[in-house]
Structure formats: C-alpha cells, structure tokens
C-alpha cells in the first residue's frame, strides 16, 4: 500500500463516492477519526455501506434505511470484517464523515481529518483482521501525512456519537502502531 500524490491508496479496492469536496485552503491533515458502521444495523458483509456512501441505497430495501433517505455522507476508508480495505474518497479531499465535531479546540473536523470506518457496531467485537488492516493503514497514512492525533467519532462528537464503541480495543490498536 502506498498513498499516491492525490491521496488514493494503491493496493486497495476503490469505490468512488460523490460525497466529498475540497478541503479549506491551508488545511493540513493531522487527525484520524475511527468510526463503526453496519447496514442494515448488526448485519455484515452486505452492500449497504457502499450503496450508502455512493448515494445508491434504496430507502425501501430495509425499514432502517428510511431514516437515511437523502442523507449524503462518506468516509475515506472502510475496513471490512475480513480486513479488506475500500477507499471512497481520496485523502486530499474532504470526506463527509465527522458532522458537527470538535477536536482540541478546532471545529469542523472533516476539514483536517481522514475518516476510517470499521464494519461493525457498538455491540460486537472487531475482528483480528480488522485490527491488522487498521494498523497497516494507519502506519501508511502516518508516513504520508503529519498525523498528530487519532480519535474516535465519540471523541469529536460526544453528544451525538458513540462509535467506534465499547468493543474497540484502543490499547491493542495503539500497541500495534509502535
């Protein structure tokens, strides 16, 4: 895996999302935000996440999807349960993953962060392969960008969000980066 000059990672599957825009002028990338997602909730290995991030999710296909109608979000990366990595937005662009957020006195975390979604939920442990892929991806991104902080979605939007959730093993992840 290598990050190209425009922010695409080589060696991973690419599914282009339309849900991104330019980062503000002078905005550096120095924060990684870890999330979790499953669509439908608690169901894994389907196409729901990719369809959601590419605005192709049929709001009638599952009762939960009705609340996602006309919601346009994305993330830079998704790590599947089997450790496979999918990239939706080049790192040089601003993905729409953080929403209303703040980190260390700075608001609008999308401006200066890269979003990484783990296929999962607050109720299920993540897989060995996901931790291994997340560590590899993090190291690659740290080589390409001046990443100073790594936070959960719950850290940057604590009133709204709980992910990556209580089953995310922060000590294990941080130890894998050493």
Does residue 151 contact residue 112 with C-beta atoms inside 8 Å? no
42 part of the active site: no
Total residue count of the chain as it appears in this document: 178
Instruction: Find all residues with CB under 8 Å of 53, minimum gap 6, and list them.
Output: 15, 17, 19, 73, 74, 75, 78, 88
Q: Which helix (H) or strand (E) holds 87?
A: strand 85-87
Q: In terms of C-beta density within 10 A (0-12 exposed, 13-18 middle, 19 or more buried), how is residue 119 classed?
A: buried
CA 55 – CA 130 distance, rounded (Å): 25
Name, in order, each residue with C-beta under 8 angstroms of 105's C-beta and a sequence gap of 6 or more. none
- Give me the catalytic one of 42, 50, 117, 128: 117
Catalytic residues: 117
């Amino acid at each position: 895996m290598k990050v190209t000059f425009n922010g695409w990672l080589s060696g991973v599957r690419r599914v282009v999302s339309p849900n991104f825009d330019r980062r503000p002028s002078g905005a550096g990338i120095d924060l990684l935000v870890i999330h979790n997602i499953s669509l439908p909730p608690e169901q894994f290995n389907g196409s729901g996440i990719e369809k959601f991030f590419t605005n192709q999710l049929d709001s009638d296909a599952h009762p939960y999807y009705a609340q996602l109608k006309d919601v346009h979000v994305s993330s830079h990366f998704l790590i599947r349960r089997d450790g496979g990595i999918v990239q939706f937005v080049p790192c040089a662009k601003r993905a729409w993953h953080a929403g209303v957020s703040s980190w260390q006195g700075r608001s609008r975390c999308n401006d200066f962060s890269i979003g990484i979604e783990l296929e999962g939920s607050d109720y299920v442990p993540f897989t060995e392969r996901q931790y291994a892929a997340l560590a590899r991806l993090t190291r690659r991104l740290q080589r390409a960008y001046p990443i100073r902080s790594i936070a959960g979605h719950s850290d940057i939007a604590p009133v709204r969000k709980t992910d990556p959730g209580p089953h995310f093993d922060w000590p294990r992840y941080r130890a894998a980066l050493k």
